[in-house]
Amino acid sequence: MKVYRDEDADLDLLKGKRIAILGFGSQGKAQALNLRDSGLEVTIGLRPQSPSRKKAEQLGFEVQSLSESCSGAELISFLIPDQVQKEVYQEEVRKNLKEGKCLIFAHAFSVHFKLVEPPDHVDVILVAPHGPGEVMRKKFQAGLGVSGFVGVYENRTGKALQKALAYAKGIGLTRTGVVETTFEHEALGDLFGEQAVLCGGLAELLKAGFETLVGQGLPPENAYLECVHQLDLIVDLIKRFGIAGMYSRISELAEFGSYVNGPRIIGERTRMAMRAILEEIRRGEFTEQFMKSYRKGFEAFKEKRQKESAHPINQVFRNIGESFASE
């Protein structure tokens, strides 16, 4: 799999072309600033009542309505929440798609699951950073970047991949490297990775370890420091040296115990559950569940968020975790 870097991308391909950034949240703000610092022309598209309007204007951006920004731009970047992309596309974007324009998505979710169905007379590309906007911006300012994916869904002009690489360079991704993927693979992999491993699965594993130790009489602070606080150290070893390299750099006691008991935690039942989750995502069942919750105002979702915040592990973080956060 080829890794594309700065020398593989031509930023001049986007010079003189207006880029509309739809949304000004974490990703929207970071990408807009990085693109502007790369010498590209950026406008921000927001709804009239958006609380982000004042923030964007204070940073010197021209802010327009969603429809107006799309009308005057040659490239349109969707950096609004996934759940509103369908309605924004249908109401504000679709009518402004002239021949040869380019739609850019940071996540393939809406396109792959047919919430957004672009016409065949525009380029449709994926530029997906592997990191939050705040991290991406901080690294960009330091002369670095996060990695990412690029992909092509519709190649109307014959230059869709080149545009994706140029945009990736504009936001700093090619400083580290990007690899090409498909919209299908990014959508499935991203949803599964977040839900089963990186966010959902990991959070449940951390809470289960914390609850086990506290339930057997250890102080919550001990449980937090043993099961949660050191996580970034292990992750850093894995990212730098791989899983086998991580094992070779911890104590033999820890390594031995990992081989004995790790598979007892993540065994065949867990793998069966993971396969079931992936199939539900693939069939569109999760997408329907998510959009149904959105249409109902995210009521149950908000209740779960409040319940999560009240978990004792978060109280311990507020008591001692923040004091160690700068480690």
Q: Which residues contact 124 (CB under 8 A, 6 or more apart)?
A: 102, 103, 105, 111, 118, 152, 153, 154, 160
- Please compute the mean of the pLDDT values over residues 248-256 and round it to a whole number: 97
pLDDT score for 308: 95
- Please compute the mean of the pLDDT values over residues 69-87 and round it to a whole number: 97
pLDDT score for 41: 98
Smallest Cα–Cα separation from 36: which of 15, 57, 22? 15
Indicate the average pLDDT of the chain.
96
Cα 102 to the chain's mean position, in Å?
Answer: 21
Per-residue pLDDT tens over the stretch 294-316:
999 999 999 999 999 999 999 99
Catalytic residue among 107, 185, 229, 311: 107
When pLDDT is cut at 50, 70 and 90, the band that residue 325 belongs to is low
- Please compute the mean of the pLDDT values over residues 224-245 and round it to a whole number: 96
Indicate whether 21 pLDDT > 80: yes
Indicate whether 11 pLDDT > 90: yes
Per-residue pLDDT tens over the stretch 189-231:
999 999 999 999 999 999 999 999 999 999 999 999 999 999 9
pLDDT score for 319: 87
- Please compute the mean of the pLDDT values over residues 97-123 and round it to a whole number: 97
Per-residue pLDDT tens over the stretch 168-183:
999 999 999 999 999 9
- Please compute the mean of the pLDDT values over residues 311-325 and round it to a whole number: 84
Indicate whether 321 pLDDT > 90: no
When pLDDT is cut at 50, 70 and 90, the band that residue 320 belongs to is confident
* Residue 107 annotated among the catalytic residues of the structure: yes
Burial of 148 (0-12, 13-18, 19+ CB in 10 A): buried
What structural domains does the chain harbor? Answer: 3-181 (3.40.50.720), 191-324 (1.10.1040.10)
